[in-house]
Amino acid sequence: MKTADKLLIRALKGEALKSPPIWLMRQAGRYLPEYRGTRAAAGSFLELCYNPVLATEVTLQPIRRFGFDAAILFSDILVVADALGQKVSFEEGRGPVLEALKDGKDLAQLGLGRFHEHLGPVYETVSRIRAALPPETALIGFAGAPWTVASYMIEGGGSRDFAKVKQWAYGHPESFGLLIDLLIEAVVDHLAYQVEAGADGVQLFDSWAGILPEEQLFHWSLDPMVRIAKDLRERHPKVPIVAFPRAVGPAALMYRRPDTFAALSIDTGIGAHWAAKELQPHICVQGNLDPIMLLAGGEAMEREATRILGKLGHGSFVFNLGHGVVPQTPPDNVARLVEIVRNWKPGA
């Protein structure tokens, strides 16, 4: 099946479908016993990301189980920092750990010299997934947006207040801008290579956009994402780009740019009703079930999923979560959610 005919791509191109397509952020992961098995066989999380056979396997696991409309490449946003030359590791129970960049001088150690070679296994994974997927299933490539990746690179991992990255960005915008420029170039290459290997569309994750005040948000989150979209479109004019600026509230309106992004992925904090009124007439909306509703399951989940479908299911819409599936989620709840979305009828 051609890219343009797949349900997910039709929705991203603005079509209102009778039954909206569904996939879930972090649909491959620790909540699946088969993922935990493959993960143990791979060794570390990064070894799994760089092993094309095993990364393909974990990408396909949720497709086999639930028949989602899209697979998302199994990888991580931090492989870009790793490929630029920063030391990255994932520690059990701690999440990502990076050798933090301290000032402008540390930027000199980073570069695009080995980028493509380092990420070769990721692009091989994309083509293996492509070859193994059912023809109607779309394949989504992705990257972290520069602000979020820079946050991890400067904080050295997760953070409570993001004081280091903010201080750098606010106090030394010229040198911070150099890091953002490097990330823009790296992300455009990374996404273009994924498209060339067989991705039907791409998503930009700006998970930490919501911690920035408005003017800084424009400068360090929106502007880099727009530049990435423009540069990628020059190389691949038709590729749909989904923007996920998490937790930005009504500033989501700044990202409502149908000439630049095909869709906006909305977190749980944005009301479905508001999104239907303010966003959906202009751009495809993706989201926004609370991942903890999926964990809770039962009637509460059914009611909430049906409510979201009632608000957004009449326009161009991709059913998803407001953020990733959490590890404690019972797989049966996911199966039930897919059933609810598949059986929903507009007007119901």
Helix (H, G, I), strand (E, B) or coil at 144: strand
Catalytic residue among 31, 35, 69, 76: 76
On whether the CB atoms of residues 9 and 319 are closer than 8 A, the answer is no
Binding ligand CP3 by CB under 6 A: which of 14, 324, 331, 346?
Answer: 324
Question: Are 85 and 79 in contact, with CB atoms under 8 Å apart?
Answer: no
242 C-beta neighbours (distance < 10 Å), count: 23
Cβ-based burial of 86 (10 A; exposed 0-12, middle 13-18, buried ≥19): buried
Query: Of residues 35, 123, 152, 255, which has the active-site annotation?
Result: 152
- 30 given a catalytic annotation: yes
Stretch that binds ligand CP3, among 69-77, 122-130, 161-169, 330-338 (CB under 6 A): 69-77
CA pair distance 143, 186, nearest whole angstrom: 10
Query: Which C-beta is closer to ligand CP3: that of 145 or that of 276?
Result: 145
Task: Please select the residue that binds ligand CP3; options are 50, 123, 142, 319, rule is CB under 6 A.
Answer: 142
Say whether residue 138 binds ligand CP3 (CB under 6 A): no
Nearer to ligand CP3 (CB atom), residue 125 or residue 280: 125
CA distance 18 to 72: 23
Distance CA 138, CA 119 (A): 22
Instruction: Find the distance separating the first CA and the last CA of the chain, reported in whole Å.
Output: 31
Please report how close the Cβ of residue 256 comes to ligand CP3 at its closest, in angstroms.
21
Give the angle subtended at the CA of 318 by the CAs of 241 and 289, to the nearest 5°.
115
Residue choice 96, 198, 224, 287 for contact with ligand CP3 (CB under 6 A): 96
- Of residues 217 through 256, those in contact with ligand CP3 by CB under 6 A are none
Minimum distance from residue 207 beta carbon to ligand CP3 (Å)? 3
Per-residue interface string for the shown chain with ligand CP3, residues 32-51, x marking contact by CB under 6 A:
-------x-----x------
Q: CA dist 193 to 70, 74, 120, 269, 314, Å?
A: 19, 15, 9, 33, 34
Contacts to ligand CP3 from residues 156-215, by CB under 6 A:
158, 205, 207
76 binds ligand CP3 (CB under 6 A): yes
Which of 90/274 has CB closer to ligand CP3? 90
Report the distance separating Cα 311 and Cα 221, nearest Å.
Answer: 28
Does 78 interact with ligand CP3 (rule: CB under 6 A)? Answer: yes
Q: Check if 76 is active-site.
A: yes
Active site residues: 26, 30, 39, 76, 152
Positions touching ligand CP3 (CB under 6 A) are 25-30, 39, 45, 72, 74, 76-78, 90, 95-96, 142, 144, 158, 205, 207, 324
